[in-house]
């Protein structure tokens, strides 16, 4: 027997304007007015270099002359294209983030349509009530789609990366689109759907490598076997999918292999990086997966686990088999990564949120009410604390809160931004209205259990990205250091050798317009060193930072150089930068 019994009143659709408003409140704060931080400055640097460089820069992703061949170029192409299209109007940083907005829309819309198509299938419908009154299939599908999106937006992992110009962000959105195209292929096994699934796989390959597409097509084939679909047409259409998945990366692989930009072979380096991402699962990757995953996938994973338990007695259900297979193979792929990164977990969120949406209707009313009260109390308390810390940093009262708020940004002078405070106040008023609606009306709609948790998380993000955005820019941006270096660098400087990392290099090139050494160049007359104050490397070769000029190690002897400037970010007590000029 199906574990779902719902009246039609529980499937009233979330107003479209409310869903759109939540989406805008989610994605725009953190994009507008935020400097490139260390986490995504390197990716922005690649996009900026492409947009202002030549054809070779589009074939060899690099940050102001520093080659970066660890990922495919698709995410950087999109960002660079948006810089060219919108940079003149909104600036290069926000221009690159226009691609981030498009990626966010692709991921959420694809997830909504995936849940909608699965939710209106006959096997997913609730049990018929004795006297009627059960929801219509389209209404039930729409409610599940809204629920899946709310769970997706309420996940902490998505919040961390959806506002960054990273390849893993595009990978997560493409995975969501792949889910939708896979559902359409299973519903209608035809050439068009097979080609579109292949397009999604090819885009994934040129974004983060060939391993995810390989395991995804294997998981898709496994789904068709578990659903007992006809073998011959399935293999024929999956063959078409595989062909397209191989052909799409060729738009970069073939030109890059022929041209060999700057005398380098980015394809060979990319293939070597792909091979290094696979190993036998070990204790390190297993421990990292569960330690990070517990909070990264919250609150999707408890609902998804409950869905697997609640539907365990049912067989041949597409809405359970599909996300379960994809979660399983992707989790195994992550465990095979010798050095797992939190961003790679993002590709698990779409299938997990999809599965969680089908677990929510099976939960008892008491459990849903407990989730509601937990969201109301905890998120309201955290929102109040953010407002209290903001008041403290401006007024100095309470004294201990003011001290804690300012100790991480020494030298920072707080000021009031009228627009930021207005947006924060409107978001807070919206949260109060949402809580009042939930407590006063006691609605029976299914999505009430997640609209509070998603809305509260969005509130906290909006408050941080408005009230504390100047503080965060001051603490995490390299803009001030770049301007200091630029002020001490002579106007006729030819080029700069350096060992700084890719994020710092991108920030210095963009904010300070520093002329770093191109990919292929002779020795420069200036050198920028980065080291640790606790472990200085003044008399050591440049070996501890990013490769210089494509991997060449530039020796450093103090007697050959004159110190022009030394400094660091006020918020970082260990990192140090020094600018030198060669003794002629």
Task: Answer for the pair 47, 165: CB distance below 8 angstroms, yes or no.
Answer: yes
User: Which tokens go with 127?
Assistant: 């049990």
The kind and range of the H/E element at 215 are helix 211-226
Q: Which is nearest to 524 in space by CA: 492, 546, 551? A: 492
pLDDT digits (tens, 9 = 90+) for 350-388: 999 999 999 888 887 777 778 778 888 899 999 999 999
pLDDT for the residue numbered 521: 65
Q: Is residue 95 over pLDDT 60?
A: yes
pLDDT digits (tens, 9 = 90+) for 433-492: 988 887 777 667 778 778 888 999 999 999 999 999 999 999 899 999 999 999 999 888
β-bridge pairing 526-532 and 496-498: parallel
All residues at 6 or more sequence positions from 556 whose CB lies less than 8 Å from its CB, including other chains:
527, 529, 538, 539, 540, 541, 542
* Alpha-carbon span 249 to 74, nearest angstrom: 9
Residue-range domain boundaries for the chain: 15-36+69-356, 369-476, 479-582
pLDDT exceeds cutoff 80 at 533: no
**Residue 130 backbone dihedrals phi, psi, to 5 degrees:** -60, -40
Q: What is the DSSP string of 136-168?
A: PHHHHHHHHHHHHHHHHHT-HHHHHHTTS--HH
Q: What is the pLDDT of residue 99?
A: 96
In the prediction, which pLDDT does 556 show?
66
Confidence of residue 549 (pLDDT cuts 50, 70, 90): very low
Mean pLDDT score across all residues of the chain? 88
Q: Residue for token digits 């109060």?
A: 432
Stretch 287-313: mean pLDDT, rounded?
87
Residue 404 has pLDDT above 50, yes or no: yes
pLDDT at 233 over 80: yes
pLDDT at 542 (0 to 100):
47
pLDDT value of position 149: 95
pLDDT at 492: 85
Give mean pLDDT, residues 169-196: 95
Contact 566, 577 (CB under 8 A): yes
Q: CA 162, CA 165: separation in Å to the nearest integer?
A: 8
pLDDT at residue 540, as a whole number:
41
Least Cα distance to 198 among 247, 245, 137 occurs for: 245
Task: Please tell me the chain's helix, strand, coil percentages from 3-state DSSP, rounded to the nearest 5.
Answer: 65, 5, 30
The pLDDT of 120-137, averaged and rounded, is: 78
Task: Retrieve residue 288's tokens.
Answer: 């990292």
User: What are the pLDDT digits (tens) for 302-311?
Assistant: 889 888 888 8
What's the average model confidence in pLDDT over 484-503?
89
- pTM over 0.85? The answer is yes
């Amino acid at each position: 027997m199906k574990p779902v019994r719902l009246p039609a009143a529980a499937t009233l659709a979330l107003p479209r304007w409310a869903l759109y408003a939540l989406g805008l409140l989610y994605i725009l704060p953190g994009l507008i007015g935020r400097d490139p931080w260390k986490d995504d400055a390197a990716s922005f640097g690649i996009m900026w270099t492409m947009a202002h460089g030549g054809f070779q820069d589009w074939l060899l992703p690099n940050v102001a002359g520093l080659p970066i061949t660890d990922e495919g170029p698709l995410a950087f192409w999109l960002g660079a294209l948006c810089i060219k299209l919108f940079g003149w109007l909104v600036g290069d940083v926000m221009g690159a983030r226009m691609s981030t907005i498009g990626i966010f829309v692709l991921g959420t819309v694809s997830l909504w349509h995936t849940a909608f198509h699965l939710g209106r299938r006959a096997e997913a419908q609730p049990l018929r009530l004795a006297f009627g009154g059960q929801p219509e299939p389209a209404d039930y599908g729409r409610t599940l789609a809204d629920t899946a999106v709310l769970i997706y937006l309420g996940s902490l992992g998505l919040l961390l990366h959806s506002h960054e110009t990273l390849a893993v962000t595009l990978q997560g959105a493409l995975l969501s689109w792949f889910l939708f195209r896979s559902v359409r292929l299973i519903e209608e096994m035809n050439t068009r759907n097979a080609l579109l699934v292949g397009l999604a796989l090819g885009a994934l390959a040129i974004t983060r490598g060939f391993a995810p597409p390989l395991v995804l097509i294997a998981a898709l084939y496994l789904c068709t076997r578990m659903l007992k679909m006809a073998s011959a047409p399935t293999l024929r259409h999956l063959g078409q999918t595989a062909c397209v998945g191989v052909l799409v990366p060729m738009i970069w692989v073939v030109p890059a292999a022929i041209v060999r930009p700057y005398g380098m072979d980015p394809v060979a380096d990319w293939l070597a990086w792909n091979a290094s991402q696979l190993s036998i699962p070990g204790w390190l990757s297993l421990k990292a997966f569960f330690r990070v995953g517990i909070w990264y996938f919250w609150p999707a994973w408890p609902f998804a686990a409950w869905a697997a338990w609640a539907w365990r007695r049912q067989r041949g259900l597409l809405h359970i088999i599909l996300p379960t297979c994809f979660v399983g193979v992707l989790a195994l792929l992550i465990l095979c990564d010798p050095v797992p990164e939190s961003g790679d977990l993002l590709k698990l969120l779409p299938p997990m949120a999809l599965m969680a949406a089908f677990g929510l209707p099976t939960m008892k009313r008491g459990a849903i009410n407990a989730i509601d009260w937990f969201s109301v109390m905890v998120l309201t308390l955290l929102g109040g604390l953010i407002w209290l810390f903001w008041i403290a940093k401006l007024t100095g009262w309470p004294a201990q809160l003011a001290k804690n708020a300012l100790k991480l940004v020494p030298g920072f002078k707080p000021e009031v931004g009228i627009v930021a405070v207005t947006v924060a106040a409107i978001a807070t008023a919206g949260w109060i209205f949402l809580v009042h609606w939930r407590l006063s009306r006691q609605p029976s709609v299914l999505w009430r259990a997640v609209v509070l948790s998603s809305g509260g998380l969005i509130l906290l993000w909006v408050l941080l990205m408005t009230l504390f955005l100047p503080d965060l820019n001051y603490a995490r941006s390299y803009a001030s250091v770049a301007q200091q270096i630029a002020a001490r660098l002579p106007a006729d400087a030819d080029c700069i050798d350096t060992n700084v990392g890719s994020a710092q290099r991108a920030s210095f090139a963009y904010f300070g317009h520093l002329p770093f050494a191109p990919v292929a160049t002779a020795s420069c007359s200036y050198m920028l060193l980065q080291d640790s104050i606790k472990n200085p490397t003044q008399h050591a070769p440049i070996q501890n930072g990013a490769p210089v000029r494509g991997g060449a190690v530039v020796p450093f002897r103090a007697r050959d150089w004159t110190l022009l400037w030394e400094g660091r970010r006020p918020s970082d007590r260990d990192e140090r930068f020094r600018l030198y000029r060669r003794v002629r």
